[in-house]
Amino acid sequence: MDKIIINGGNPLEGSVEISGAKNAVLPIMAAALMGNGISIITRVPDLRDTRTMIRLMEIIGAKVSFKEGTLTVDGSSVNNPEAPYDLVKTMRASFYVLGPLIARFGEVKVSLPGGCAWGPRPVDYHLKGLEELGAKVTLDSGYILAESKKLQGKTIRFEYPSVGATGNIAMAAVTANGTTIIENAAREPEIEQLCIFLNKMGADISGVGTDKLIIKGVSQLEPADIEVIPDRVEAGTFLMAGAALGEVTINKIVPTHLRTVLIKLEETGAKVRTNQNSITITRSDKIIPVDMTTAVFPGFPTDLQAQWVALMMLAEGSSVITDTVYHDRFSHVPELNRLGANIHVENNVAIIRGVKKLVGAPVMSTDIRASASLINGGLMAHGRTEVSRIYHIDRGYERIEEKFRSLGADIMRKTES
């Protein structure tokens, strides 16, 4: 298993180009299954999760080719509306094929994502939404079976603006009879882009980017082309490293996607300069502690919570970080404490007492964003940090060690069999 080895403490200086967004490309790939022909998706990041989605689409019958950031999906051969456990268990986002496949075939069989159970659990909004559109949904041997010859448009109000449920129900509804209205829809830029792609395919969705989507059913979708938006989470990860360690410019990004994050970064004392599609951050002599609470877009993203915790480790004072989106997303904390941080977690709140110095140590990745916080932490610590189980980081970050190396970091990948 690969490891990342960091000799921390080097200042960072320079610029990096941000990749296409993982959480935008995955639902777009699922949507391309609805087009009876070839869709071309560009600026596709080469990630484990992209590769997992390609495997899943091939099982479903699509012809997919992926070369130098361009993904070509031929949906005309799609013939198997089934997502097997072996793939779904490795990537929750596989669940995104639910909506497109029921829309196209009138039936679908998708494994429940690992760790979830039937009932009021993390896919209940998706399933309840499908039922409201008239689908019969059952659970059989760990698989969700959903069927409906033709879904019927309806007004659906989500209890919580779930990203995945908004995407899935929007995809299911585009070819339903009549009009579907999704109230309390997710407004994340990745969902906005999914709706833009669906409209390019011939869907009729208005209210795109707002919390109320109005979807008028059309008879069928055609293939379409799109360039994936930049990854605001990757961008935020580099900005937070820069705020601790030097002067970093991130290029090819959309600054408005990061508005809340930039406000918070400025509160830490870092200097932030924004241009049309780039941002430069310069560290200040001291990091001012800043409390932060995650929220749905346009709030501070939960996917940058772990990296914010890492930044606050060296702040001059205490900060309180609350995650309201996920209530137990703090697996990075015991690992960051191994670097000498002083972080205490109570329920969904982390209390960080800033320390003067961090010292490198062996640490272990537990999920995508936790891994990013360990890399940022390792860069901030003195001496050697070894981050193991980095397959987690490869799920969501493209060549992260190369990008940090180009900024002057002493970081390398060690391949172990």
Please report, as ranges, the residues that interact with ligand EPU according to CB under 6 A.
23, 26, 92-93, 122-126, 160, 162-165, 190, 302-303, 325-326, 368-369, 396
We find the least distance from the C-beta atom of residue 254 to ligand EPU, in angstroms, to be 17
User: Peptide bond before 189: cis, by omega within 30 degrees of 0?
Assistant: no
We find the least distance from the C-beta atom of residue 107 to ligand EPU, in angstroms, to be 21
Pairing mode, strands 318-322 and 292-293: parallel
351 phi, psi to nearest 5 deg? -110, 120
Q: Let me know if 195 is a catalytic residue.
A: no
CA gap 173, 130 in Å, rounded: 9
| Closer to ligand EPU by Cβ: residue 125 or 404 | 125
| Closer to ligand EPU by Cβ: residue 176 or 185 | 185
We find the least distance from the C-beta atom of residue 49 to ligand EPU, in angstroms, to be 8
| Closer to ligand EPU by Cβ: residue 4 or 53 | 53
First to last CA, the chain: 6
Q: In the structure encoding, which two tokens stand for residue 178, read together?
A: 């009549």
| Closer to ligand EPU by Cβ: residue 91 or 287 | 91
**Annotated catalytic residue within 5, 87, 116, 355:** 116
- By beta carbon distance, the residue nearest ligand EPU is 164
We find the least distance from the C-beta atom of residue 342 to ligand EPU, in angstroms, to be 25
Q: How many Å separate Cα 411 from the centre of its chain?
A: 24
| Closer to ligand EPU by Cβ: residue 306 or 314 | 306
We find the least distance from the C-beta atom of residue 246 to ligand EPU, in angstroms, to be 26
Q: Active-site residue numbers? A: 116
